Amino acid sequence: MEKITTEKNRSLTGVFYHPSFSRRSYLTIGTRLKEFPEAFKPLREKFSNIVIFESKPISEELILRVHSPELLEGVRKDNLCSTAWHSAGGVVEATEKVYSGDIRNAFCFIGAGGHHAGKRNFWGFCCFNDVVLAIRNLRDKYGSAKIAIIDTDAHHGDGTRELIRDSSDVLHYCICSNDYSSEDGLKIDVSYFDKTPDGYLELVRNFAEYVRSFEPYLIFWYFGHDTHEGDYGDIGLTVRDYLKMAEILIALAEEICNGRIVVVLGGGSSPRIATESSLAIIEKLASTSGRVQG
Ligand SMILES: [Zn+2]
Ligand SMILES: [Zn+2]
């Protein structure tokens, strides 16, 4: 079932970005990437194994394999979704490159979010469901792909859940304000209510147990920094906590699926937090992939 990768450049970390994400993104999250692309500089000087890819627009033919024509029409008419094509396109390409062994791991910047976009409806700064589109692309090109998703955005990933509800080859673990587990144990919500930052990290560690028994080929980390102190989904987390999450999840990908992890930016509005947290996560990805020879 799984494609045998050629393991070409497994010491590379791919960063997917498009200049429009810093100029004309969705309203609330629209200015958070204003420090880019200049903010990449120090990391590029430090890590020669980081490759920056300019995100390409996704094809509408692929969009229509996941979303309804009405959703596509609605997104087209919504000025706040102008970056949606490049946002989803970057995630699709990053996932394919990690899957096929062109790069070891990836971080995807976006201008419009993904996890609130379902088959027919989109809301909450989301337009096209980037992660589900990337999974659909893998399935159509390579056959079925066993995938695990962890969602640490402050909000429930309702669109993603709707779209993968019946997929027995997708584990979806969402840390939000709900508690839920499907009968087969593959669709899980765990609540962060009453949790300290350490308690939250425990919920991230618990994901590892599901992943160890599910044995996915690739892990998505849907990362929202709206959970940061002072951001709009504040649950008291800080960049230091994000770095710990990165350590847990990247080590898990190394242990279970040969390092294949794609980090996708979700919600959050603060430029300072966006810059600090994304650079910290990319640094962790690059230092991990850089240790691997061949
Ligand atoms: Zn959110
Ligand atoms: Zn949830």
pLDDT in tens, 147-191: 999 999 999 999 999 999 999 999 999 999 999 999 999 999 999
Written as six digits, the tokens of 10 are: 């497994």
10 pLDDT band (50/70/90 cuts)? confident
- Rounded Cα distance between 50 and 36, Å, is 15
**Distance between Cα 155 and ligand 1 center (Å):** 4
pLDDT beyond 80 at 8: no
Q: Any idea of the CA torsion for 136, 290, 293, 219, to the nearest 10 degrees?
A: -20
pLDDT beyond 80 at 1: no
- Predicted local distance difference test score (pLDDT) of residue 24: 63
**Distance between Cα 234 and ligand 1 center (Å):** 10
- Predicted local distance difference test score (pLDDT) of residue 148: 98
Q: Between these two residues, 290 and 95, which has the higher pLDDT value?
A: 95
pLDDT beyond 50 at 270: yes
* Secondary structure of residue 271 in the 3-state scheme: helix
- Rounded Cα distance between 246 and 252, Å, is 10
Mean pLDDT (the chain) is 93
Kindly report the CATH number that applies to the domain delimited by 13-290. Answer: 3.40.800.20
**Distance between Cα 267 and ligand 1 center (Å):** 4
pLDDT beyond 90 at 133: yes
In angstroms, the Cα distances linking 150 to 113, 224, 293 are: 15, 11, 28
Mean pLDDT of 249-275: 96
Helix axes 239-257, 197-214, angle to 10 degrees: 10
Domains in the chain: boundaries:
13-290
**Distance between Cα 41 and ligand 2 center (Å):** 35
Ligand closest to the CA atom of residue 125: 1
- Predicted local distance difference test score (pLDDT) of residue 27: 54
**Distance between Cα 17 and ligand 2 center (Å):** 27
Going by C-beta distance under 8 Å and a sequence separation of 6 or more, which residues neighbour residue 272? Answer: none
Mean pLDDT of 58-70: 98
**Distance between Cα 154 and ligand 1 center (Å):** 5
pLDDT tens profile 182-218: 999 999 999 999 999 999 999 999 999 999 999 999 9
Alpha helices, H only, the chain: 41-46, 60-66, 69-77, 84-100, 130-142, 158-164, 197-214, 239-257, 271-290
